[in-house]
């Protein structure tokens, strides 16, 4: 069986390592990696290949930046050419980025079966580019690998059901266990940032709905600045957020009391999370990684796809997007004591379940 895997954005490099490991230890399967180049900075892309030992992609394009339509269109055309020359048995895509949609659409049009990993997530907010990508990728997919029961139900609600929907758990949990099960793999980032023995907050902000809304961004930063009076707040900055902040004088004062860093590699981020008191983020992946490390989280968005964590008390959304609303959510999360949560994201072997299913089905 030949799998052509499309990756392009930071979380996809991390997710891909789980399946790539499973492929490496399985006979009769070959994986060809295609990197669209949606993310291209060293600390947004290459660092993950180096650290996680992800193979050099056979196809590497330079198709990042620009508007959504422009980016997706360029990727669609390049992926189509690669699919035509590779003739894989399956085209595998992850998550909800423009690279995901381009891969799913290119393959579906060529009648190459599409496997969508992290299928069925919904925010029910069609203004998010990611929501459009997820819905369309799910509807183009042949096989849908859902991380949660909620995702399975979301798909059923759209008429996608039966054996082609498989509840396999979350590949990000597979990858998080590389550090959780092996504390020796932690880096010295906590010491490097002078945080040893101190409580601290880890925050990331990169979503378009955050960065394109100055009032919201400033309210979040002001709330983080209040928190920084009590404990340090570490903010690794996505390149877009860095650009936005550079043109936003209202954010300068708050930003000056936060500890801003460059985007972090996988092991630095996991090591930082392992010792954190709280996570404040608009990222989908970080919400779950916080939970894997048993750190409470405030998600600074109007809604989240990972509703299990709200129900379990490990995550909360602000009731309003002014400073007070965000501070209240932060105070609530710091005071909370969520209990033992079980395993809402599977058994940590999602990649193996995916590969087994594909090898049985894709003949
Ligand atoms: C994308 C995904 C989002 C995912 C996120 C992970 C879409 C629609 N969104 O969002 O689901 O959570 O990746 O990080 O696909 N930039 C650089 N260097 C880079 C990468 C980006 O400077 O290496 C800048 C560019 O100006 C770019 C902007 O950041 O235009 C946004 O990047 P883009 O890939 O469009 O979206 P993300 O916000 O990263």
Report the pLDDT value the prediction gives residue 343, as an integer from 0 to 100: 83
User: If you take atom 14 of ligand 1, which residue's CA is the nearest one?
Assistant: 10
- What residues contact 197, with CB distance under 8 A and at least 6 apart? none
The structure tokens listed for 81 are 């050419």
Q: Is the CB of 41 under 6 A from ligand 1?
A: yes
- Long-range contacts of the stretch 209-212 (C-beta < 8 A, 24+): 209/127, 209/128, 209/282, 209/301, 209/302, 210/241, 210/282, 210/300, 210/301, 211/240, 211/241, 211/244
Distance in angstroms (rounded) separating the CA atoms of residues 240 and 345: 30
For the chain, how many residues are written?
363
Any ligand 1 atom below 6 A from CB of 11: yes
Distance between alpha carbon 317 and the CA centroid of its chain, in Å? Answer: 18
DSSP secondary structure string, 191-245?
Answer: HHTT-TTS--EEEE---HHHHT-HHHHHHHHHHHHHHTTTS-EEEEPPHHHHHHH
Instruction: Name the residue with the closest Cα to ligand 1, atom 17.
Output: 239
How many angstroms separate the alpha carbon of residue 97 from the centre of ligand 1?
9
- DSSP run (H or E) holding 103: helix 98-109
Residue whose Cα lies nearest atom 19 of ligand 1: it is 39
Q: Which helix (H) or strand (E) holds 48?
A: helix 46-52
Question: Under CATH, domain 183-335 is a member of which superfamily?
Answer: Glycogen Phosphorylase B; (3.40.50.2000)
Looking at residue 341, its pLDDT comes to 66
pLDDT value of position 230:
96
In this structure, the residue with its CA closest to atom 13 of ligand 1 is: 9
Best probe residue, ligand 1, of 12, 39, 132 (max atoms within 8 Å of C-beta): 39
- Contacts of residue 353, Cβ cutoff 8 Å, sequence gap at least 6: 145, 166, 168, 169, 346
Of the candidates 21, 206, 238, 349, the residue annotated as catalytic is 206
Residue nearest to atom 28 of ligand 1 (CA): 240
Q: Is 108 helix (H, G, I), strand (E, B) or coil?
A: helix
Give the closest residue to 216 by CA, choosing from 287, 332, 300: 300
- Sign of torsion over alpha carbons 223, 229, 233, 237: positive
Output the CATH code of domain 2-170+346-361.
Answer: 3.40.50.2000
Kindly give the confidence (pLDDT) of every residue in the chain, 363 residues in length, as a single tens digit, with 9 standing for 90 and above: 999 999 999 999 999 999 999 999 999 999 999 999 999 999 999 999 999 999 999 999 999 999 999 999 999 999 999 999 999 999 999 999 999 999 999 999 999 999 999 999 999 999 999 999 999 999 999 999 999 999 999 999 999 999 999 999 999 999 999 999 999 999 999 999 999 999 999 999 999 999 999 999 999 999 999 999 999 999 999 999 999 999 999 899 898 999 999 999 999 999 999 999 999 999 999 999 999 999 999 999 999 999 999 999 999 999 999 999 999 999 999 998 887 767 899 999 999 999 999 999 986
- 206: annotated active-site residue: yes
Domain boundaries, the chain: 2-170+346-361, 183-335
64 in ligand 1 pocket by Cβ < 6 Å? yes
Ligand 1 centre to CA of 133 (Å) is 14
How far, in Å, is the centroid of ligand 1 from the Cα of 183? 30
Residue 204 pairs with which residues in a beta bridge?
A: 281
Phi then psi for residue 73, to 5 deg, are -65, -45
Instruction: Let me know if 124 is exposed, middle or buried by CB neighbors in 10 A (0-12, 13-18, 19+).
Output: exposed
């Amino acid at each position: 069986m030949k799998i052509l895997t499309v990756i392009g954005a930071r979380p996809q490099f991390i997710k891909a390592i789980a399946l790539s490991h499973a492929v490496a230890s399985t006979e009769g399967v070959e994986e060809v990696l295609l990197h669209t180049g949606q993310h291209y900075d060293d600390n947004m892309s290459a660092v993950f290949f180096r650290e996680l030992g992800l193979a050099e992609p056979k196809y590497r394009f330079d198709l990042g930046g620009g508007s959504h339509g422009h980016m997706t269109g360029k990727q669609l055309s390049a992926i189509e050419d690669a699919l035509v020359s590779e003739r894989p048995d399956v085209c595998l895509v992850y998550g909800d980025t423009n690279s995901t949609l381009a891969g799913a659409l290119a393959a579906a049009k060529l009648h190459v079966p599409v496997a969508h990993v992290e299928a069925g997530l919904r925010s029910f907010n069609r203004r998010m580019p990611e929501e459009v990508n997820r819905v369309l990728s799910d509807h183009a997919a042949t096989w849908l690998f859902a991380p949660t029961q909620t995702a399975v139900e979301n798909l059923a609600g759209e008429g996608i059901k039966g054996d082609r929907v498989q509840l396999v758990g979350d590949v990000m949990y597979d990858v998080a266990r590389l550090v959780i099960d092996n504390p020796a793999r932690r880096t010295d980032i906590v010491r490097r940032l002078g945080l040893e023995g101190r409580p601290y907050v880890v925050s990331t902000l990169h979503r378009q709905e955050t960065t394109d809304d100055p009032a919201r961004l400033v309210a979040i930063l002001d709330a983080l600045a209040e928190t920084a009076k009590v404990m340090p707040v570490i903010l690794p900055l996505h390149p877009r957020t860095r650009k936005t902040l550079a043109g936003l004088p209202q954010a300068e004062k708050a930003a000056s009391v936060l500890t801003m860093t460059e985007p972090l590699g996988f092991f630095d981020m996991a090591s930082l999370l392992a010792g954190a008191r709280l996570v404040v983020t608009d990222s989908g992946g970080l919400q779950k990684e916080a939970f894997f490390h048993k750190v409470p989280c405030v998600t600074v968005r109007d809604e989240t796809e990972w509703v299990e964590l709200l129900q379990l008390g490990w995550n909360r959304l602000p009731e309003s997007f002014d400073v007070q609303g965000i501070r209240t959510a932060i105070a609530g999360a710091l005071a909370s004591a969520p209990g033992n949560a079980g395993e809402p994201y599977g058994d940590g072997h999602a990649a193996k379940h995916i590969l087994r299913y594909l090898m049985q089905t894709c003949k």
